[in-house]
């Protein structure tokens, strides 16, 4: 029997995972964590749990920080469960140890269920989509491409600036009189083009590229 920590702050994702896990016989306890601090708190209490983590929604500083957390809680098994993850991140995490599995949110119910079951049995699972990416070598733009000022459109740069300043997708949509869906699509495109997974990494790019200056960032 395994304990599960659902580390995801999207209600629909959590509901879907709760439903799938409620149908598994080997689940002893279901817990939730909406941010990194809550996740670490639960890990201290449940050091042999399975963590289902949407890394892109949490404020990790990079793959290294996640790997360090894994080293701290060595008996924990991780299922990375996101809409999109950069190839560099996946390689770094997957090559660090066999406790990390990967499934994408647009995988089939059967594939996600298999991923949860494998993580419970301490067996690595990598979904077909990620496996094909790793085999083919397809990747997001390299670090040299990221420095290219033409990588983002002017609209994307403006939205990235707002993201880096800490504004939510809902707040940006209201200020620009655009739909939540439109801003969310821009956000996904920006992260994909930059090869980043979360706001922290995107903010570092925005500062490095001069889209936002440190004076604005620390106001």
Q: What are phi and psi of 211, to 5 degrees?
A: -70, -30
Task: Characterize the bridge pairing of strands 77-82 and 50-53.
Answer: parallel
143 CB contacts (<8 Å, ≥6 apart)?
195
Q: How many CA atoms lie within 13 A of 79 on its CB side?
A: 29
Q: Which two tokens stand for residue 106?
A: 């647009």
Of the candidate ranges 75-84, 124-133, 141-150, 160-169, the one whose mean pLDDT is the lowest:
141-150
Residues 101, 126: contact at Cβ < 8 Å?
yes
- Given the structure tokens 């439903």, which residue do they identify? 19
Task: Characterize the bridge pairing of strands 50-53 and 2-7.
Answer: parallel
pLDDT bracket for residue 206 (50, 70, 90): confident
| 169 burial via Cβ count (<10 Å: 0-12, 13-18, 19+) | middle
Length of the chain: 219
175 CB contacts (<8 Å, ≥6 apart)?
162, 167
Q: Supply the mean pLDDT for the chain.
A: 86
Q: How much is the average pLDDT of 92-105?
A: 91
The confidence score (pLDDT) of residue 26 equals 86
The confidence score (pLDDT) of residue 137 equals 64
Quick check: 113 pLDDT over 70? yes
Longest distance between any two alpha carbons in the chain, whole Å: 53
Between CA 4 and CA 125 the distance in angstroms is 16
Residue ranges of alpha helices (H) inside the chain are: 11-22, 36-45, 63-72, 87-94, 109-120, 128-136, 143-146, 154-164, 169-176, 180-194, 199-208, 214-217
Between CA 150 and CA 142 the distance in angstroms is 14
């Amino acid at each position: 029997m395994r304990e599960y920590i659902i580390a995801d702050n999207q209600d629909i994702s959590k509901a879907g995972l709760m439903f799938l896990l409620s149908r598994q016989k080997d689940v002893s306890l279901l817990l939730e964590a909406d941010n990194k601090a809550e996740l670490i708190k639960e890990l201290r209490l449940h050091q042999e749990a399975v963590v289902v983590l949407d890394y892109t929604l949490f404020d990790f500083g990079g793959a290294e920080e996640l790997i360090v957390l894994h080293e701290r809680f060595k008996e924990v098994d991780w299922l990375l469960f996101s809409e999109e993850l950069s190839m560099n991140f996946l390689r770094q995490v997957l090559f660090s140890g066999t406790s990390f599995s990967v499934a994408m949110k647009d995988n089939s119910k059967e594939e996600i269920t298999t991923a949860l079951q494998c993580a419970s049995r301490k067996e690595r699972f990598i979904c077909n989509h990620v496996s094909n990416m790793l085999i083919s070598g397809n990747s997001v733009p390299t670090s040299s491409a990221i420095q290219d000022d033409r990588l983002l459109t002017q609209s994307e740069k403006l939205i990235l600036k707002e993201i880096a300043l800490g504004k939510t997708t809902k707040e940006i949509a209201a200020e620009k009189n655009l739909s939540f869906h439109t801003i969310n699509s821009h956000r996904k495109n920006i992260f994909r083009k930059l090869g980043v997974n979360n706001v922290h990494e995107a903010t570092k790019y925005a500062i490095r590229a001069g889209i936002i200056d440190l004076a604005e960032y620390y106001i």
